[in-house]
Amino acid sequence: MNSFISKPPDLPTVSSAATNDQSVASANRSPVVDVDNVYKSFGAQHVLNGVSLTVHPGETRAVLGRSGTGKSVLLRLIVGLQEPDSGSVRIFGQDIAGLSLDRLAPIRKKMGFLFQHAALYDSLTVGENVGFPLNHHRADMSKSERDERVSQVLSEVGMEKQSDKMPAELSGGMQKRIGLARALVMDPELLLLDEPTAGLDPIGSAEINELVLKLQKEHHIAFIVVTHDIHSARTIADRLTLLDKGCVVMDGSFEELKSSDNEFVREFLKHS
């Protein structure tokens, strides 16, 4: 994989990633996420069959695919909630296979994760939910600094007025945005978002897309965004991965996707 290192640096590489200058630049930095040939089954059901994917610093990758192809499972593998049957997952250059909770902790503190169903703590208020990671990991911040940070991210997702509500009092789309705020609060270097705009109205989704673009620009965060919304993927993502039956059908920019003559890709685009 690193074979080009041994070549003189000015020789062109034959890697397919070298098609434009930006990806050459990013290929030289080590990837934030490097999923290599991962397999995952549940009993007799093969969910992922050799999926590979890399994300470089500051890069946004959208993961698309039909319902049940294993997009959420892929995210759970990346964050270490599940282990692959084979293949490797490297985050910030470190292989996370078999790491204990304590060894994973420093890696996870640099990641934010938005669950598909938000997964808010239902015994805590919205504000406490968002402040939860800070309360546990940022003893160096004073209470007022933490509160300020919480209201800052809440207003970024447009939920600053909901701070004292309980999660059960919110709609699904609002819970999703609180979940996003909680994922953002620690200033992560890598954000994994499982369908951030599902269940949001068009204005709400546009706002989330804008927020993602803003975070890319200002904080240079790397994203993996699972989405069914091809327009949102086009707006925010540098590269797209299309999964089908646990395999990567297509990996490239939106233009490459559009000009692909793969049957599944064309079928997928036709209906979205």
Contact footprint for other proteins (CB under 8 A): 76, 79, 81, 101-102, 104-106, 108-109, 111, 113, 115, 117, 119-122, 132-133, 136-137, 182
Q: x/- string (CB under 6 A) for ligand ATP, residues 58-77?
A: -------x-xxxxxxx----
Rounded to whole angstroms, the Cα distance separating 10 from 23 reads 16
List the single partner that 79 binds among ligand ATP, other proteins, Mg ion, none, CB under 5 to 8 Å by kind: other proteins
Burial pattern 124-147, b for ≥16 Cβ within 10 A else e, equals ebbbbbbbbbbeeebeeeeeeebe
Q: How far is the CB of 92 from other proteins (least distance, A)?
A: 14
* Cβ distance to other proteins smaller for residue 80 or 252: 80
Q: How far is the CB of 261 from ligand ATP (least distance, A)?
A: 24
* Cβ distance to other proteins smaller for residue 114 or 243: 114
Rounded to whole angstroms, the Cα distance separating 86 from 19 reads 30
Kindly state the DSSP code that residue 11 receives in the 8-state scheme.
Answer: S
Query: Does residue 227 belong to the site contacting ligand ATP (CB under 6 A)?
Result: no
Q: In the range 107-126, which residues lie near ligand ATP by CB under 6 A?
A: 116
Rounded to whole angstroms, the Cα distance separating 122 from 73 reads 23
What backbone phi and psi angles, to 5 degrees, belong to 59? -90, 150
Taking the C-alpha atoms of 199, 194, 183 and 57 in order, what is their torsion angle to the nearest 10 degrees? -130
* Cβ distance to other proteins smaller for residue 1 or 101: 101
Q: How far is the CB of 75 from Mg ion (least distance, A)?
A: 8
Binding site for Mg ion (CB under 5 A): 72, 116
Burial of 152 (C-beta count, 10 Å sphere; 0-12/13-18/19+) = middle
Q: How far is the CB of 165 from Mg ion (least distance, A)?
A: 26
List the single partner that 102 binds among other proteins, Mg ion, ligand ATP, none, CB under 5 to 8 Å by kind: other proteins
**Cβ-contact 121, 167 below 8 angstroms:** yes
Number of residues this chain uses to bind ligand ATP (CB under 6 A):
11
Rounded to whole angstroms, the Cα distance separating 113 from 227 reads 14
Q: How far is the CB of 227 from Mg ion (least distance, A)?
A: 10
Candidate list 42, 135, 213, 266; residue touching ligand ATP; CB under 6 A: 42
Residue with tokens 């309980």: 166
Binding residues for ligand ATP (CB under 6 A): 42, 47, 65, 67-73, 116
